[in-house]
Amino acid sequence: MKSPRPYRLSPKAVPYVLLSPFVILFLVFGVFPLAFSFFLAFQTWEPTAGLASMKFVGLDNFAFAITDEWFWKSLKNTSWLALASGVPQHLVAIPLAYFIHTSFKRTRNAVIGAYFLPYITSTVAIAMMFSTLFSTDYGLINLTLHGLSQLPVLGGLFPRDPIDWLNQAENVKPAIAMVVFWRYVGFNTVLYLAALQTIPKDIYEAATMDGAGRWQQFWFVTLPSLKPMIYFGVTLSVVGGLQLFEEPFILTGGRGGTDQAGMTTAMYMYRTAFEFNDFGAASALSWLLFVFVALLTWLTNRAFKPRGPSA
């Protein structure tokens, strides 16, 4: 049966029609919010009064954000958390991937699956579990520390009194960093494991012939071959770390903890909009954060760029 002409697509239109689902969704959920937040960054707006109540204020929101004590405090918190959770992630993931790669054969998938599990677990479940673990008087972490402090020789290394993880300003950040580290180390391990599998065996064979030991092979063969993946992994960690939101938000009950010690910039942005009702300033904050993320990503790029023609 032949359909009437008007319902047919011309060959020229076909690619556009087939692309349109993505393009439309991207415009609605990608481009529009971006443009709207950029627009909002120059407005003052009482949201409950409707869209008509926006007023253009020029760079006021940016001026406010840059001179805002809390913005800098949140940026400091974010950088601290990104470093303290990001650096160990890679320092642990690379040797771990190497170890899994060389020592496990048949059980490798099960082992790597166990490490990957935290990454796909729901944040709410994680937060509930960790707030129970971190509990001052009844938590497993403090219970373990207390048990360790009773040991005869090493006991002195561990605190005798229970640590108030989530309510004491100086403990909030390490607690959050621990959770973030735990959550993403498996993801990075998978990345490095994939990269390890692409390193040709003959390089190792040649290295063995030259008399290189296991340690030398790791240092002179594995690590340089992993460099592109390290660059990729570090970039992801930089971007993800600077936009950290979920873990600190849930662990500190949305407040950022005592003295806002765990309030990241993304959290401050969210609170400025939805708690303090200042969407203009929140948009300005988000663009400042974007500039910061872009800058650091560029620096990462520079750091990993091959130096000299030989590399």
Partner 1 sequence: MPFNKISLMSGRRGLACLLLAFLAMSLAQAQQTLTVAAYPAVDDIAKAALTQWKKKYPNVEVKVVSRAFADHHTAMTTALSTTSNLPDVMVVEFGYVARFAEGGGLEDLSATPYSIKSQQSRFVPFAFRQATAISGAVVAVPADIGPGTLLYRADILKKAGLVEADLTQSWDAYVAAGTKIKTATGAYLVAHARDVKDIVIRSNLSPGEGLYIDTKGRVLVDSPRFVRAFELAKKVREAKLDNKISAWSNEWSEGFKRGTIATQMSGAWLAGHLNNWLAPETKGLWRASQLPEQAWGSWGGSFYTIPKGAKNKALAWDFIQMMTLDPQMQLNAFKAQDAFPALVDVHNDAFFDQPIDFLGGQKARLLWRDASRKISTVDVHKLDPIAEEIVNTEMDKVLDQGKDVRTALADAKALLERRVRR
**Residues lying near partner 1 in the complex (CB under 8 A):** 3-4, 7-11, 14, 44-51, 53, 60, 64, 69, 131-132, 135-138, 164, 167-169, 253-255, 258-260, 271, 274-278
Distance in Å, CB of 36 to partner 1, minimum:
11
Nearer to partner 1 (CB atom), residue 79 or residue 136: 136
Widest Cα–Cα separation across the chain = 90
Nearer to partner 1 (CB atom), residue 135 or residue 235: 135
Nearer to partner 1 (CB atom), residue 107 or residue 132: 132
Nearer to partner 1 (CB atom), residue 90 or residue 271: 271
CA distance linking residue 100 with residue 110, whole number of Å: 11
Selection from 281, 303, 301 nearest residue 46 by Cα? 281
Distance in Å, CB of 305 to partner 1, minimum:
42
Distance in Å, CB of 171 to partner 1, minimum:
11
Nearer to partner 1 (CB atom), residue 2 or residue 201: 2
Nearer to partner 1 (CB atom), residue 238 or residue 251: 251
Distance in Å, CB of 125 to partner 1, minimum:
15
Nearer to partner 1 (CB atom), residue 229 or residue 285: 285
CB 186 within 8 A of CB 118: yes
Selection from 295, 233, 273, 232 nearest residue 79 by Cα? 295
Distance in Å, CB of 130 to partner 1, minimum:
12
Distance in Å, CB of 71 to partner 1, minimum:
12
Distance in Å, CB of 132 to partner 1, minimum:
7
Distance in Å, CB of 3 to partner 1, minimum:
4
Nearer to partner 1 (CB atom), residue 246 or residue 278: 278
What HEC string does 144-170 produce? Answer: HHHHHHCCCCHHHHCCCCCCCCCCCHH
CB 94 within 8 A of CB 192: yes
